[in-house]
Structure 1
Amino acid sequence: MHAMQYELTLPADYDMDAIRTRVSRVGQLLDDWEGLGVKAYLVRERGIHGSPVNQYAPFYLWNTVEGMNTFLWGGGFQRLSDDFGRPAVRQWTGLAYEEGAATGSPALFAVRRRRRVPDGVPLAEAVREAVDETARLAREDGVVLTAAAMDTSRWESVHLSLWEHGTPKAEGDLFRVLHLSAPGRAALPGGRQW
């Protein structure tokens, strides 16, 4: 599993209905994308749920590098770049994936938490904590799915959890899920990724 995300931080007065309209128009284009496990079309709006910014920040879980590369180099990402400029794309190596207690429910909210691994902390310990947190979150009421991954260039872990309700029991940035493309969700390997 490979995780990927880019963020478009938009002006404070940006009409976020433009993003909602965009997602309603193009969201289904990845509903059958080869190699994609899940794409969550995420937004947060300034002043809502404590967000300091307007942001469009899709989060991807890929089953294959080929699917991810086809998206990045084969046209899918180019449409976004043409409209908004080319954002930096963060990538993480998968650590763990779990279906949640509310696996059959629609994902309406997401929590994303990024955390640096402090110098001096053994990597095995940091990874074990991330895997354990993924398993813990999967058992929480309202969790649709949860995943953890690591950026080894920054030694930073990321957790993503999707929720059926807006009162998640997880720390991090809270987003609305506008659409969920999940063509390869069933193929995402569960549990620890090694």
Structure 2
Amino acid sequence: MHAMQYRITLPADYDMGIVRRRVATRGHLLDDFPGLGLKAYLTRERGDDSPVNQYAPLYLWNAAEGMNAFLWGPGFQGIVDDFGRPVVEHWSGLCFADGPSAAAPARTAVRRTTRVPAEVSPGEAVAGAVAETERLAGLDGVVCAALAVDPRRWELMELTLWEHGDPAAAGERYRVLHVSAPGRAALRRGRHW
């Protein structure tokens, strides 16, 4: 599994209805994209428990080929054409788990990043983070949870999708506008090593 996200921060007075309409009319285009486990179309709106307006889709890829086909193809070019070329964050997958609400639509997402301190063994840090992600995945209302790492910056990224709008998890909260999940069933469950 490969995790990928780009966060497009928009002006404070930006009409977020433009993003909602974009997702409503184009979101389905990735509903059968080869190599895609899932894409959560995420937004944050200034004043709605967020300091910024942001469009921040997050992807879990089953295969690097699918990710590359998206990035070098017309899908990502549409983002570049409309918003400029954003920084694309990327992490190697560590674990994925379905939650008790796996069959429900996701309404809220929580993204949390943590640094692995230099004095902590990477293996110990990852083992602890995997255990925490698996614990989170078992909470009532969780659709699914994923954990990934950027070893260049020693950053862990945890994503939890929730059925309801008030999750009991710390991190950046996003509204989920749509989920494309053509390869969700193929995402490897449990730890990825």
Question: TM > 0.5 between the two?
Answer: yes
Map 1:76-95; keep pairs closer than 5 Å. Answer: 76-95=75-94
Aligned to 1:159: 158
Which segments of structure 1 move beyond 3 Å, counting only runs of 4 or more?
none
Amino acid in the other structure paired with 2:88: V
Report if aligned partners of 1:95, 1:130 keep a CA contact under 8 Å in 2: no
Structure 1: runs of 5+ lacking an equivalent: none
Map 1:15-164; keep pairs closer than 5 Å. Answer: 15-48=15-48, 50-164=49-163
Q: 1:32 & 1:113 partners in 2: Cα distance? A: 28
Q: 1:186 & 1:67 partners in 2: Cα distance? A: 16
TM-score (norm 1): 0.98
Report if aligned partners of 1:44, 1:55 keep a CA contact under 8 Å in 2: yes
TM-score (norm 2): 0.99
Q: 2:131 & 2:51 partners in 1: Cα distance? A: 30
Q: 2:128 & 2:52 partners in 1: Cα distance? A: 29
How far is 1:169 from its partner?
A: 1.4
Q: 1:169 & 1:97 partners in 2: Cα distance? A: 19
SS for the counterpart of 2:177 is strand
Report if aligned partners of 1:109, 1:164 keep a CA contact under 8 Å in 2: yes
SS for the counterpart of 1:104 is coil
How far is 1:71 from its partner?
A: 0.1
Q: 2:75 & 2:68 partners in 1: Cα distance? A: 10
Q: 2:149 & 2:190 partners in 1: Cα distance? A: 15
Q: 1:81 & 1:153 partners in 2: Cα distance? A: 25
Write out per-residue CA displacement over residues 138-167 of structure 1, whole angstroms, 9 at most, x where no aligned residue: 110000000000011111000000000011
SS for the counterpart of 1:38 is strand
Aligned residues with identical type, % of pairs: 63
Amino acid in the other structure paired with 2:154: W
Structure 2: runs of 5+ lacking an equivalent: none
Amino acid in the other structure paired with 2:181: A
